[in-house]
């Protein structure tokens, strides 16, 4: 077992990236992830690696594009408004099949919004976000240890699939301090070598071309169908989730990240009051655990989505259950965090409800 330390979420991501061999970090300040950029500015330079505070998020992600193309592990981080700008590069990297790991410590939007914690970039994280038919592997950790662990995994899956991968955290997770076990990075060994395709390498004298342009007739469709095969494989092999007290559950909450922590406490309180409630926590929000959520509908009639956005994940849960269960929503927005007592109240209301009624609380 590794050393136990007390660490802030943003710093834990940074340290995990350093341990995972991130060679190039490019970032631009935005709250609530500034500690991460600051952490990297010190640690990367200490390690003799590349750190640049770029002129913009657009520049940062395009620097990642370049560094990934020469075969380096590369990373950037931001929050909502900055991730919107990075979407350009993310789409290009997905198109050109380049790995990158990035972090969105979500804040309230739309627009400049506020700097309070939120989960309202769910659509942006899970739907590609930028233009074109592409996907990004997205982890939604719910504590500092997981921020650390999934950062390491994030670099690996990005390399394995030659695709951007990300962590969707929120301001609370980024700022909170928790005990953390510093696990050593273990290279899984089955990562493909970058040598055949990385640019500027004299050991591969034949010219290599990295691009997302496919103008010839049918060429882009051909390419996108190849990409789709990769996304299908990711959906098959990379789904992650956690289940709590589902065995005897009569109602199941579905929540991720900070909202799942609140839901877990609400579960304990509600159980004491005799409500047989379980919790399903997606850890990957893309690929989404559709099948597992679909299976929940065979066990219970009611699901309650708890999220810090106004029904963004609710859509995925409804898609998953295909009408086989009622899906209720407890959503907060713009910095609002679900309150345990209110979630318990909501559970009670649902248990007492009859018929087809869907209860949405904002």
Partner 1 sequence: MEKVFTKPEAMKPEQTLYCPGCGHGTAHRMVAELVDEFGLRERAIGIAPVGCSVFADRYWNFDVISAAHGRAPAVATGMKRGNPDSFVICYQGDGDLAAIGTAETIHAANRGEHFVTIFVNNAIYGMTGGQMAPTTLCGQRSQTCQLGRDPDIMGHPIRVCELVRDLPGVAYLARGAVDSPKNVIQTKKHMKKAFQTAIDGKGWSLVEVVSPCPTNWGMAPQKALQWLRENLLEHYELGVFRDCEAE
Which residues of the shown chain bind partner 1 in the complex (CB under 8 A)? 23-24, 26, 50, 52, 54-56, 58-60, 62-72, 74, 88-89, 92, 96, 199-202, 205, 207-213
CB of 52 to partner 1, least distance (A): 7
Closest residue by Cα to residue 162 from 186, 197, 130, 189: 197
CB of 204 to partner 1, least distance (A): 8
Strand order in the sheet with 277-282: 241-244, 277-282, 251-254, 302-307, 326-331, 360-361
Choose between 207 and 218: whose C-beta lies nearer to partner 1: 207
Choose between 205 and 355: whose C-beta lies nearer to partner 1: 205
CB of 107 to partner 1, least distance (A): 24
CB of 53 to partner 1, least distance (A): 10
Choose between 26 and 150: whose C-beta lies nearer to partner 1: 26
CB of 48 to partner 1, least distance (A): 12
DSSP 190-207: -PPPSTTT-TT-TT--S-
Q: Which residues contact 338 (CB under 8 A, 6 or more apart)?
A: 259, 262, 263, 266, 306, 308, 330, 332
CB of 265 to partner 1, least distance (A): 43
The number of CA neighbours under 13 Å toward the Cβ of 281 is: 21
Choose between 87 and 145: whose C-beta lies nearer to partner 1: 87
Q: Judge contact between 339 and 262, C-beta under 8 A.
A: yes
Q: How many C-beta atoms lie closer than 10 Å to residue 321's C-beta? A: 21
Choose between 202 and 323: whose C-beta lies nearer to partner 1: 202
Choose between 83 and 259: whose C-beta lies nearer to partner 1: 83
Choose between 59 and 182: whose C-beta lies nearer to partner 1: 59
Q: Which helix (H) or strand (E) holds 284?
A: strand 284-286
Q: Judge contact between 271 and 277, C-beta under 8 A.
A: yes
Q: Judge contact between 94 and 136, C-beta under 8 A.
A: yes
Q: Which residues contact 362 (CB under 8 A, 6 or more apart)?
A: 310, 331, 332, 333
CB of 56 to partner 1, least distance (A): 6
Three-state DSSP at 166 gives strand
Choose between 69 and 180: whose C-beta lies nearer to partner 1: 69
Look-up of token digits 């309150």: 339
Task: Give the alpha-carbon dihedral of 149, 155, 157, 158, to 10 degrees.
Answer: 150
Choose between 59 and 334: whose C-beta lies nearer to partner 1: 59
Angle at CA 136, nearest 5°, toward 131 and 138?
A: 135
CB of 199 to partner 1, least distance (A): 4
Q: How many C-beta atoms lie closer than 10 Å to residue 324's C-beta? A: 13
Q: Which residues contact 4 (CB under 8 A, 6 or more apart)?
A: 179, 180, 181, 182
CB of 153 to partner 1, least distance (A): 22
Choose between 189 and 205: whose C-beta lies nearer to partner 1: 205
Could you give the CA distance from residue 289 to residue 286 in angstroms, rounded to a whole number?
8
CB of 60 to partner 1, least distance (A): 8
């Amino acid at each position: 077992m590794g050393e136990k330390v007390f660490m802030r979420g943003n710093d834990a991501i940074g340290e995990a990236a350093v341990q995972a061999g991130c060679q190039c970090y490019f970032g631009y300040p935005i709250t609530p992830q500034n500690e991460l950029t600051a952490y990297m500015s010190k640690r990367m330079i200490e390690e003799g690696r590349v750190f640049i505070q770029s002129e913009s998020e657009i520049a940062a992600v395009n620097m990642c594009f370049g560094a990934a193309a020469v075969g380096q592990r590369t990373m950037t981080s931001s929050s909502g408004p900055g991730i919107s700008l990075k979407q350009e590069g993310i789409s290009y990297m997905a198109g050109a099949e380049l790995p990158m790991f990035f972090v969105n410590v979500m804040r309230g939007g739309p627009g400049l919004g506020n700097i309070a914690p939120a989960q309202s970039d769910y659509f942006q994280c899970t739907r590609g976000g930028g233009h074109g038919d592409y996907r990004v592997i997205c982890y939604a950790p719910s504590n500092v240890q997981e921020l650390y662990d999934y950062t390491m995994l994030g670099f690996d899956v990005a390399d394995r699939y030659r695709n951007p991968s990300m962590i969707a955290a929120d301001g609370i997770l980024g700022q909170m301090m928790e005990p953390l076990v510093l696990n050593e990075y273990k290279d899984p060994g089955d990562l493909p070598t970058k040598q055949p395709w990385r640019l500027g390498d004299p050991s591969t004298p034949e010219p290599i071309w990295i691009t997302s342009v496919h103008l010839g007739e049918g060429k882009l469709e051909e390419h996108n169908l190849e990409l789709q095969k990769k996304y299908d494989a990711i959906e098959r092999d990379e789904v992650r989730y956690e289940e709590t007290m589902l065995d005897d559950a009569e109602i199941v909450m579905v929540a991720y990240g900070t909202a799942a922590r609140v839901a877990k406490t609400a579960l304990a309180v509600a159980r004491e009051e005799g409500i047989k409630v379980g919790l399903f926590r997606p850890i990957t929000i893309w690929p989404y655990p559709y099948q597992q959520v679909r299976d929940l509908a065979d066990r219970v009639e009611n699901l309650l989505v708890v999220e810090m956005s106004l029904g963004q994940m609710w859509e995925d849960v409804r898609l998953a259950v295909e009408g086989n269960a009622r899906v209720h929503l407890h959503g907060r927005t713009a910095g609002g965090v679900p309150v345990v007592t209110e979630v318990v109240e909501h559970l009670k209301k649902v248990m007492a409800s009859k018929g087809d009624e869907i209860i949405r609380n904002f």
